[in-house]
Amino acid sequence: MSDTLPRTELSSLGEFGLIERIASRIQLTQDSSVKGIGDDAAVIDPQGLHQVVTTDMLVEGVHFDLGYVPLKHLGYKAIVVNLSDVYAMNATPHQVTVAIALSNRFPVEAIDELYEGMAQACAHYGVDLVGGDTCSSTSGLVIAVTAIGSAKKEDIVYRSGAKENDLLVVTGDLGGAYMGLQVLEREKAVFKETGAQPDLAGHDYILERQLKPEARKDIIELLKKLDVKPTSMIDISDGLASEVLHLCRQSGIGAMVHDQKLPIDPTTYRTARDFNLDPSTCALNGGEDYELLFTVAQADYEKVKGNPSLSVIGHMTDKASGYHLVDKHGGTHELRAQGWDAFLRKE
């Protein structure tokens, strides 16, 4: 919050005033949005499709640090992480509801920034903000977003459909969001100790991965174009290893992941090395990449191979074989999830 911004106290608006302020800036764009903000509930016309629903909560001091996360980016990210869950069902999001708890330390202008970021995400992904709640908090900012999407029943992809010998495919590249966070945390520590301005040069890509991640709407469209229906799918929020294990356990099979196949951006690689971290470990356990991880039948290999957005990183095995990582030298190790656990972090 810059000192140059005007500061309007939240209490001067009141809850209804704030809701009106938010609502006045929102236009419904989706045919399926029958009624948005302003009644006891929003109304959606499913148009003959199944609906998918997902909820995520972001808590100040746990999921974000306003010391280095601009509110506009936070609003954008709060929407995106939920849309990512909808895409992971092979569905298309059309509506979100947003509940926020915030204290009086936030001026109205800060809330405007937060909702501006949400509005940008909604516009970018073709989603309507149709409802929610605003209330006061005794301490930090809490944001709960529910995203609602739709898909034909037969198009929905679950975590549980992977079969032995299916190929394991991941989109984009991994570990970037985690390394972005490391850079932000380092510069924050330096600033606290020395007062030196943050040196973020050369880290644009990984900072964007952390601060303004995107959900892979394009992949859902690509899969349709390629005529590929994944047998299982999940989004990568906790880290690749953790998500592979989810697919394995829910599908009742094993997996073999090849370290050398992990897609890692050069910036991520270089920064990990600077931090004396193993880039593969960052890719496997970093989390918050919001890429999609899915399995496809071997018969679909020709359709996915060579696509710049897709990396085949391994294959599914029988359950008894377990979960393995093949290292650069051909050695195999048990694949373990070391992603962060919400209850072990920053408590």
State which of residues 22, 74, 80, 86 lies at the interface with a second copy (CB under 8 A): 86
Which of 27, 29, 104, 165 binds a second copy (CB under 8 A)? It is 104
Residue 14 or 266: the one with the smaller Cβ distance to a second copy is 14
By the rule CB under 8 A, 175 interacts with a second copy: no
Of the ranges 58-66, 170-178, 201-209, 258-266, which one interacts with a second copy (CB under 8 A)? 58-66
Kindly state the DSSP code that residue 169 receives in the 8-state scheme.
E
Among 139, 165, 321, 332, binds a second copy (CB under 8 A): 139
* Shortest distance in whole angstroms from residue 177 CB to a second copy: 17
Cβ proximity to a second copy: between 15 and 274 the closer is 15
Calpha distance 330→218 (Å, rounded): 34
Residues of this chain, 7-36, that bind a second copy according to CB under 8 A: 10-11, 13-16, 18, 34-35
Instruction: Pick the piece of the chain touching a second copy (CB under 8 A) from 97-105, 170-178, 196-204, 222-230.
Output: 97-105
The pair of structure tokens assigned to 224 is: 């349709």
The reply on whether position 50 binds a second copy by CB under 8 A is yes
Least separation in angstroms between residue 228's CB and a second copy is 18
Q: Give the dihedral of Cα atoms 269, 270, 276, 279; nearest 10 deg.
A: 0
252 binds a second copy (CB under 8 A): no
Q: Which residue has 């899915």 as its token pair?
A: 294
| CA–centroid distance for 164 within its chain | 28
Q: Tell me how far apart the terminal alpha carbons of the chain are, to the nearest angstrom.
A: 26
Minimum distance from CB of 194 to a second copy (Å)? 26
Any idea what DSSP says for residue 175?
S
* Single residue of 27, 29, 55, 298 touching a second copy by CB under 8 A: 55
Q: Is 133 in the site for a second copy (CB under 8 A)?
A: yes
- The residue (of 57 and 200) whose beta carbon lies closer to a second copy is 57
140 forms part of the interface with a second copy (CB under 8 A): yes
H/E stretch holding 170 reads strand 167-171
Q: Does 201 bind a second copy (CB under 8 A)?
A: no
* Long-range Cβ contact pairs of 8-12 (< 8 A, separation 24 or more): 8/107, 8/108, 8/109, 9/104, 9/107, 9/108, 10/102, 10/104, 10/106, 10/107, 10/108, 10/111, 11/104, 12/108
Phi (first) and psi of residue 114, to 5 degrees: -60, -50
Main-chain dihedrals φ then ψ at residue 144, nearest 5 degrees: -120, 120
Map residue 167 onto helix, strand or coil. Answer: strand
CB atoms within 10 A of CB 129: 26
Number of residues counted as binding a second copy (CB under 8 A): 79
Give me the least distance between CB of 152 and a second copy, in Å please.
12
